[in-house]
Amino acid sequence: MTIRPETFQYIRDALHQRTAIRLLDNKEYLVETRLSVLAKQNGMRNVDDLVAHLRVPGSSALWRDVVDAMTTNETSFFRDHTPFEVLKNSVIPEVVKQSTQSKTIRFWSAAAASGQEAYSIAILWDEIKKHYPHWGVDILATDISNKMLERGRTGAYSDLEVVRGLSQQRLEANFHRNGNRWCVNERLKQDVNFRYLNLINAWPTLPKMDIVFIRNVLVYFDNPTKTNLFAKVRRILKPNGFLFLGGAESALTIDDQFERVFQGGGSCYRLKSEQNNE
């Protein structure tokens, strides 16, 4: 069975309004596949029934489940590899050199999905921290999907998830086996805080960040949304702070206050120093 055109249109518009995620014209199947499961779980016959419930004021709990179902949470440990090399070889040394007072490097993994990105940063830091005595890290991991945030907090991953990006050595050094899951060691968990944050709404008060990862989420947003987002990132970054985007994403055509740095073995963006104050 296929969903009614007005059902698709309603989900598409409301999802865009709530998350900025754009669903293309031909994505009816995606809505149907993902939401018919949710409809059944809630005792409804189909997605048309689900939408009828969503239209009723006070359906925010159901909406949370719809957002969980409609977000694409694809991720992996050390995804794309090179960003983490740039982080280790260029960005962290630069942040340490720049900061005369602060002894905490603040990271933000925005759109963190199930936490692999944030834990990759924590693993990397654990490997190199001996070179930075007296320095610590604070890693904030946020997402719009409560289900993903819960997974991140739990820090338990399947065999398939850990083979994607983790060497045997990193696995053994940072995880322990519990039943059929690999669980992140407490030592690393202490460095990472998971919190709900919708990138397109007003942000709660956050500390100024040294390094922000917003990887593989901009692809779902239109240009006005990206423009607003970069403006907010500028305000949250410290002077000369760094921004990592996904391989298919760029700040250059959207916001000229970011410059591309460390090109060659991978790159990221740096905020031009005088630009980030409101």
Give the interface with ligand SAM as residue ranges (CB under 6 A).
19-21, 71-75, 79, 111-113, 117, 143-145, 148, 198-200, 215-217, 246
| 189: its two tokens | 């968990």
Residues 6+ apart with CB under 8 A from 63: 14, 18, 54
**Min. distance of Cβ 205 from ligand SAM in angstroms?**
17
Task: Give the closest residue to 124 by CA, choosing from 145, 109, 111, 114.
Answer: 109
Main-chain phi, psi angles of 216, to 5 degrees = 60, 35
* Calpha distance 270→10 (Å, rounded): 39
Going by the DSSP 8-state scheme, the letter that residue 271 receives in this structure is E
To the nearest whole angstrom, how small is the minimum distance from the Cβ of residue 160 to ligand SAM? 15
Distance of closest approach, residue 111 Cβ to ligand SAM, in angstroms: 3
Q: Which is nearer to ligand SAM, 18 or 272 (CB)?
A: 18
Strands 237-245 and 268-271: antiparallel
CA distance 258 to 275: 9
Choice between 146 and 273, CB closer to ligand SAM: 146
Using the structure block, give the residue that is written with the tokens 């403006």.
Answer: 231
Residue number with CB closer to ligand SAM (34 or 79): 79
Task: Pull the structure tokens for residue 145.
Answer: 């999907």
Amino acid, res. 183? C
Which of 99/193 has CB closer to ligand SAM?
193
Nearer to ligand SAM, 20 or 124 (CB): 20
> In angstroms, what is the minimal distance from the CB of 266 to ligand SAM?
14
Cβ 100 to ligand SAM shortest distance, Å: 31
Task: Name the minimum Å distance from CB 34 to ligand SAM.
Answer: 13
Q: Which is nearer to ligand SAM, 44 or 233 (CB)?
A: 233
Q: What's the rounded Cα separation, in Å, for the pair 19 and 34?
A: 17
